[in-house]
Homo-oligomer: A and B are copies of this chain.
Amino acid sequence: MIAGIIGATGYAGAELVRLLAGHPNITTLALASISFEGERMDYIYPNLFRKVRTALIRPEAVLEAAEVVFTALPSGVGESYAKQCMEKGIPCIDLSADFRFDDDETTFSAWYGKPFVYPALRTRSVYGLPELNRKKIKDLAASGPVIIGNPGCYPTGASLGAYPALALGLAGTGTIIVDAASGITGGGREPSRAFQYPECADALAPYKVGCHRHTPEISRNFGFMATGNEKQPEEALPLIFTPHLAPMNRGILSTIYIPLSEAWQVPVPRTAGPCPPTQEIMDQGAVIRARYAAFYRDEPFVRVLPPGSIAATNRVRQSNYCDISIHLDQTGTTLILATALDNMVKGAAGQAVQNMNLIFGFDETTGLTAIPAAF
């Protein structure tokens, strides 16, 4: 099968190239880059030398050749390619935010500052978080060419961490806090002072506090997760999302604070100050861990970690895994989840390949079996 990538020289595009070049069902890559048309992919990315000799062509030529198209472009740029895919009858997997909001143009335009270009395309689009929407994706793909709104990197880590708590009724009504940090590749390939090495080394800091665009995507996911993936709840769950930048190349670590519903809280005697975990707290932690493990039992890419193991970005590098560790705070009121994923794989290109596998009925793990290295 011929896979096309439009936007092949950005970081997400380059990671797609790497994954698809090793995918057993992909025979040929058709790669487009507006900035580097005519150049050879492995001259721009020397890591690919000898492996991907393909020259970069125009998007139109990619659309003509490909049997599936990935668009890895800034929001607002890729809709016309998605439209052409639909007209040609082939699936389009879009890594921007354009198709992440279903038909909720109000929210999209409020946060992204522009309307949908072709609103009608949303009849053929679906939000591509397989753990949430696997059936929706397969059903829509069965009925014709489909557009995948590939999830954002932060929303993937936040949503997979909170999903069981929301679906199983562990979460109470209080504010959920998602405190997350990303490696620098999240900033993309365009040169920018903020992402120069000397500005990033030793630097840990939040950014876009209270106004990051992934907030409404997380909030929307949480809503569906709390209601059996049927509809949004009448009132959005209160959510605070704070992204940080951390001095590493890859990875997103999310620390998620979910106030437990009363039924799930553990009474802890409150004396002068908080105390070390009681047996009740440890027992409740084990129960919740078991629920999480059962919830994700059949998921190939979600690893619910055993007690004593804590999610860490370096344990999932270059893999499509999302690791989740489960903790209970010492006051017995709050569930704390740590999730780790590779922002360029499960947070972008790997998830896109997983969606392609779903659409075409390949085994969902095809081309995504890399075992993360220890270092």
Give the residues in chain B near A144, CB-CB below 8 Å: none
Give the residues in chain B near A312, CB-CB below 8 Å: 46, 203-205
From A92-100, A118-126, A266-274, A354-362, the one touching the partner chain is: A266-274
Partner of A193, one of B189, B204, B250: B189
Give the residues in chain B near A236, CB-CB below 8 Å: 270-274
Are A189 and B196 touching (Cβ within 8 A)?
yes
The interface bits of chain A over 40-60 (1 if a CB of B lies within 8 angstroms of the residue's CB, else 0) are 000101111111100000000
Task: With CB as the reference atom, state the residue of chain B lying closest to A185.
Answer: B198
Are B253 and A201 touching (Cβ within 8 A)?
no
| Copies of this protein chain in the complex | 4
The interface bits of chain A over 260-288 (1 if a CB of B lies within 8 angstroms of the residue's CB, else 0) are 00000000001111111100010000000
Are A206 and B333 touching (Cβ within 8 A)?
no
Are B338 and A205 touching (Cβ within 8 A)?
yes
Are A197 and B204 touching (Cβ within 8 A)?
no
- Contact of A346 with B by CB under 8 A: no
Give the residues in chain B near A219, CB-CB below 8 Å: 273-274
Partner of A370, one of B22, B174, B183, B184: B22
Bound CA–CA A331/B196 (angstroms): 33
Are B110 and A50 touching (Cβ within 8 A)?
no
- Contact of A239 with B by CB under 8 A: yes
How distant is A245 from chain B, measured CB to nearest CB, in Å? 9
- Contact of A317 with B by CB under 8 A: yes
Are B273 and A220 touching (Cβ within 8 A)?
yes
Task: With CB as the reference atom, state the residue of chain B lying closest to A317.
Answer: B202
From A66-74, A75-83, A131-139, A302-310, the one touching the partner chain is: A302-310
Q: Interface residues of A toward B: which range?
A: 35 or more
Bound CA–CA A200/B375 (angstroms): 9
Bound CA–CA A234/B309 (angstroms): 37
> Which A residues from 174 to 227 make CB contacts under 8 A with B?
174-175, 177, 179, 181, 183-185, 189, 191-193, 195-207, 209-211, 215-216, 219-220
> Which A residues from 344 to 375 make CB contacts under 8 A with B?
344, 369-375
Give the residues in chain B near A179, CB-CB below 8 Å: 177, 179, 255
From A11-19, A146-154, A162-170, the one touching the partner chain is: A11-19
Partner of A374, one of B15, B107, B216: B15
Could you show 27 A-B contacts with beta carbons less than 8 Å apart?
A: A11-B198, A15-B374, A18-B373, A22-B369, A46-B309, A48-B374, A177-B257, A184-B198, A189-B198, A197-B199, A197-B249, A199-B314, A199-B375, A201-B248, A201-B314, A201-B375, A204-B246, A204-B248, A206-B255, A206-B327, A209-B327, A215-B273, A215-B330, A232-B272, A240-B329, A249-B375, A344-B375
What residues make up the interface of A, taking CB atoms closer than 8 Å to B?
A: 11, 14-15, 18, 21-22, 43, 45-52, 104, 106-107, 110-111, 174-175, 177, 179, 181, 183-185, 189, 191-193, 195-207, 209-211, 215-216, 219-220, 232, 235-236, 238-240, 242, 244, 246-251, 253, 255, 257, 259, 270-277, 281, 303, 305-306, 309-318, 323, 327-331, 333-334, 336, 338, 340, 344, 369-375
